[in-house]
Amino acid sequence: MLDYIYDQAKQLIDSVREETRERGLLALVEPVAPFNRSRLLLPLVVAGSLISLVFLSGIAIGACAALFTALIGVYLLLSEVFGVSLELTVPTR
């Protein structure tokens, strides 16, 4: 399983290197057909996609923060109200 993941990651890195060898990183942020036909709208499409990427990343970070807050609330409820405790110990040899 780890070999499969390693091979997939290596293939991804190789394909990114191959794409960026000629034109640099600009090839990764340019839109594909049919959105790249108008050279006048190309900067607007790129800016819109980058803004939406940042916006959706902010939503994902907010969702992770809400999950973390809910988990802290569940922990406090279980430990303080119900008295449940979970102790993990490392076994000695």
| pLDDT for the residue numbered 6 | 92
pLDDT band at 51 (very low <50, low <70, confident <90, very high): very high
Q: What is the pLDDT of residues 59-73, one digit of tens each?
A: 999 999 999 999 999
- Please answer whether residues 78 and 84 qualify as being in contact, where contact means their C-beta atoms are separated by less than 8 angstroms: yes
Name the residue with tokens 């803004």. Answer: 51
| pLDDT for the residue numbered 80 | 94
In this prediction the pTM is 0.56
What average pLDDT does range 37-54 have in this prediction? Answer: 86
- What are the sequence ranges of the domains in the chain? 1-30, 34-77
Residue, of 46 and 54, whose pLDDT is higher: 54
